[in-house]
């Protein structure tokens, strides 16, 4: 522990290695609910939140290159942001600061001890009073996201950027193979990625911000107290060790990865310290200077669902599970309106520096296969692949996961209200979008 503290302290006072090529600004706003609110992530919950273990934050990092091209990365201690939120905030950012859609990236830590903001449509049947609290929180959240973006843009100053990588091992593949099929458990030999990518943003007075990521579900905790789970504890640990620095967490492709072990506040804090320690070690090394132009690209690709009929949902209306019945009602309403859901508009985004890493941001709960494959397809790039970006609408299984079945491939769609599993070409459709945005930002 003492060694990690010293490493971070040393990183904070090292002189800049080169003349600043960028301007950068950072800001944070507290988004902790101010009253009991229904919580997201677990369908077994039966009541609103009961106090706060740790405050939740929305943070923004704005970076501008010498040509004036800007990007803003917005992170939130939430299960996820829906497209209606990110569309609204992006439209307002365009009006206020002329930020085009490719210039704003939204990412959520996917904490399961945060407020429900309508991500999982069929998980709960809320009373009017509980629904009102959630709607009020969402309205305030829209304003807070705009505030934090404006604040970050408002304190731009000369800055240098550096990229480094650490490693920590508490994430484990959770797709356990049993005689009864794939279950949520522990699969030590399953695909994973223990890398911890780290961006250091240094201003005239030292390190302004540290942006870091990890590919692991933020599910150490499942109680009724609001918290950011391990990702929240990692951010606060770094900020306590480096006064004046804002730490921002980006969740990578952790759709099929869980923290191990899990279940207590102490374990969440332990994982947070482990992650913060890996960031410390990365910052203590030389890293790689980041320079040149910033380029960004954004687009939607259509993902197809497996063929379904009205009769499928009429049959599901008789299911013993309330979750299935609510999913059936939702999709029958789409049939009644003459617009059954056949495809999903899926967001894909890339931000790349001429000399430095590229950040690929994918929507939904993306499994680790996408990160592993993307790095193989772009071996000349220092590629960081994030999930949970710009819209969290359901799980995004790979072809392998879809074939194997289980929660990420099938059952999770019930809680998200989606009409069923994706068609078999889901992975190839996603990679069509990946190749498109990577080409537009000049990837090799």
| pLDDT(16) > 70 | no
Q: Which residue has the higher pLDDT, 117 or 193?
A: 193
Q: Is the pLDDT of residue 314 over 90?
A: yes
pLDDT of 346: 98
* Per-residue pLDDT reduced to its tens digit, 32-77: 999 999 999 898 899 999 999 999 999 999 999 999 999 999 999 9
Three-class DSSP labels, the chain: CHHHHHHHHHHHHCCCCCCCCEEEEEEEEECCCCCCCCECCCCCCCCCCCCECCCCEEEEEEEECCCCCEEEEEEECCCCCCHHHHHHHHHHHHHHHCCCHHHEEEEECCCCCCECCCCCCCCCCCCHHHHHHHHHHHHHHHHHHHHHHHHHHHCCEEEEEEEEEEECCCEEECEEEECCEEEECCCCCCCCCCEEEEEEEEECCEEEEEEEEECCCCCCCCCCCECCHHHHHHHHHHHHHCCCCEEEEEEECCCCEEECCCCCHHHHHHHHHHHHHHHHHHHHCCCEEEEEEEEEEEEEEEEEECCCCHHHHHHHCCCCCHHHHHHHHHHHHHHHCCCCCCEEEEEEEEEEEEECCEEEEECCEECHHHHHHHHHHCCCCCEEEECCECCCCCEECCHHHHHHCCHHHHHHHHHHCCCCCECCCHHHHHHHHHHHHHHHCCCC
Residue 15 pLDDT > 70:
no
Averaged pLDDT for residues 126-142: 93
Region 336-361: what's the mean pLDDT? 97
5 pLDDT exceeds 60?
no
Q: Per residue in 157-171, pLDDT tens?
A: 999 999 999 999 999
- Predicted confidence at residue 121, as pLDDT, reads 63
Instruction: Give per-residue pLDDT as tens, 69-98.
Output: 999 999 999 999 999 999 999 999 999 999
- Is the pLDDT at 327 greater than 60, yes or no? yes
- pLDDT at residue 10, as a whole number: 40
pLDDT at residue 2, as a whole number? 39
């Amino acid at each position: 522990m003492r060694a990690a503290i010293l490493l971070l302290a040393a990183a904070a006072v090292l002189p800049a290695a080169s003349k600043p090529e960028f301007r950068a600004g950072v800001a944070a706003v507290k988004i902790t609910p101010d009253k009991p609110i229904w919580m997201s992530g677990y369908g077994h919950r039966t009541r609103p939140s009961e106090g706060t273990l740790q405050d939740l934050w929305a943070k923004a990092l704005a970076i501008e290159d010498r040509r004036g091209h800007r990007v803003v990365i917005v992170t939130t201690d939430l299960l996820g942001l829906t497209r209606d939120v990110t569309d609204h905030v992006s439209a307002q950012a365009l009006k206020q600061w002329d930020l085009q859609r490719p210039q704003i990236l939204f990412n959520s830590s996917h904490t399961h001890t945060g407020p429900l903001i309508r991500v999982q449509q069929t998980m709960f049947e809320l009373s009017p009073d509980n629904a009102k609290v959630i709607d009020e929180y969402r309205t305030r959240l829209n304003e807070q996201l705009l505030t934090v973006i404006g604040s970050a843009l408002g304190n731009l100053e000369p800055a240098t950027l550096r990229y480094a990588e650490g490693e920590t091992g508490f994430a484990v593949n959770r797709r356990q193979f049993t005689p009864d099929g794939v279950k949520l458990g522990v699969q030590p030999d399953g695909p994973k990625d223990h890398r911890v990518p780290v961006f250091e943003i240094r201003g005239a007075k030292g390190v302004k911000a540290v942006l870091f990521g990890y590919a692991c579900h933020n599910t150490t905790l499942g109680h009724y107290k609001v918290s950011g789970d391990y990702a929240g504890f990692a951010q606060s640990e770094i900020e306590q060790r480096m006064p004046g620095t804002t730490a921002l967490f980006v969740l990578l492709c952790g759709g099929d990865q869980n923290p191990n072990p899990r279940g207590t506040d102490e374990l969440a804090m332990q994982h947070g310290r482990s992650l913060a320690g890996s960031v410390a070690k990365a910052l203590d090394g030389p890293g790689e200077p980041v320079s040149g132009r910033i380029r960004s690209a954004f687009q939607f690709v259509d993902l197809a669902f497996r063929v379904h009929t009205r009769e499928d949902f009429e049959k599901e209306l008789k299911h013993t599970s309330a979750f299935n019945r609510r999913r059936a009602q939702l999709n029958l309403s789409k049939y009644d309106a003459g617009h059954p859901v056949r495809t999903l508009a899926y967001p894909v985004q890339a931000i790349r520096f001429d000399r430095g890493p590229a950040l690929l941001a994918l929507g939904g709960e993306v499994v680790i296969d996408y990160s592993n494959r993307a790095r193989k397809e772009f071996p000349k790039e220092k590629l960081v692949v994030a999930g949970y970006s710009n819209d969290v609408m359901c799980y995004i299984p790979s072809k392998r996961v879809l074939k194997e079945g289980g929660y990420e491939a099938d059952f999770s769609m019930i809680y998200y209200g989606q009409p069923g599993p994706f068609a078999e070409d889901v992975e190839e459709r996603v990679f069509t979008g990946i190749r498109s945005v990577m080409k537009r930002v000049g990837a090799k």
